[in-house]
């Protein structure tokens, strides 16, 4: 593969979109996955508008990471077209509204499990062969909210996701693929605004700046 290939899941907003944009502007070809078509189109437009020499390109893949068949077909397509991938950035997450544990909404609980935990467990076996073929790495983002009040659905499923990812990292420590767990700084994103309404957002990092920092730190 002459061009580096990155698969970014959860690429339509926040840190995922910033990661996809930053990689594309650095010459990568990014396969950007998200449910929100408008967000993906905005990402593509932003990269094209800058017209930077040496910039890469983006393949938009509007699909839900919880759709097993769609994701399996996408990974097969990546294999058939490029032979593998050098990076998987997994930023897809369901941030359920804050609620007391005794008042969890069943639909939000199920969606948290499906997106944050089950999808990760289904995607790892799909993406691992791509990363092995491309001598690539996987990048995940921790957000340790487990046990904090009102974060029951998000905190529990995010902690379970990280436990799974740490097992994968330990298993591949010698044979690969490399698995990286980063903990981003607080960012001025819509998700954080839902969790912490009214806080001073001026002190938080911009997602693009944080994407650049994390890529420089870990890759």
Per-residue pLDDT tens digits for 164-207: 999 999 999 999 999 999 999 999 998 999 899 989 999 999 99
Helices (H), the chain: 14-25, 37-50, 68-82, 106-112, 119-134, 152-171, 190-195, 207-218
Domains and CATH numbers, the chain: 5-218 (3.40.50.720)
Binned at pLDDT 50, 70 and 90, residue 1 comes out as: low
Tens digit of each residue's pLDDT (9 = 90 or more) over 84-95: 999 999 999 999
């Amino acid at each position: 593969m002459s061009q580096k290939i990155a698969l970014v899941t959860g690429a339509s907003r926040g840190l995922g979109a910033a990661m996809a944009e930053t990689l594309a502007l650095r010459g990568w070809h990014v396969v950007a996955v998200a449910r929100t078509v408008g967000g993906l189109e905005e990402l593509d437009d932003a990269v094209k508008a800058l017209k930077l020499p040496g910039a890469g390109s983006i393949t938009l893949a509007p699909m839900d990471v919880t759709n097993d068949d769609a994701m399996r077909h996408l990974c097969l397509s990546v294999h058939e077209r490029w032979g593998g991938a050098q990076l998987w950035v997994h930023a897809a997450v369901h941030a359920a509204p804050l609620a007391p544990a005794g008042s969890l909404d069943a639909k939000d609980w199920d969606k948290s499990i499906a997106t944050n935990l089950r999808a990760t467990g289904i995607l790892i076996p799909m993406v691992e062969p791509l990363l092995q073929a491309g001598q690539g790495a996987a990048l995940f983002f921790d957000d340790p909210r487990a046990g904090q009040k009102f974060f029951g659905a998000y905190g529990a499923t995010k902690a379970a996701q990280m436990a799974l990812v740490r097992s994968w990292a330990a298993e591949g420590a010698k044979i690969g693929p490399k698995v990286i767990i980063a903990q981003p700084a607080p960012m001025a994103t819509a998700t954080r605004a839902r969790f912490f309404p009214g806080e001073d957002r001026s002190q938080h990092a911009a997602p693009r700046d944080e994407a650049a920092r994390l890529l420089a730190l870990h890759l």
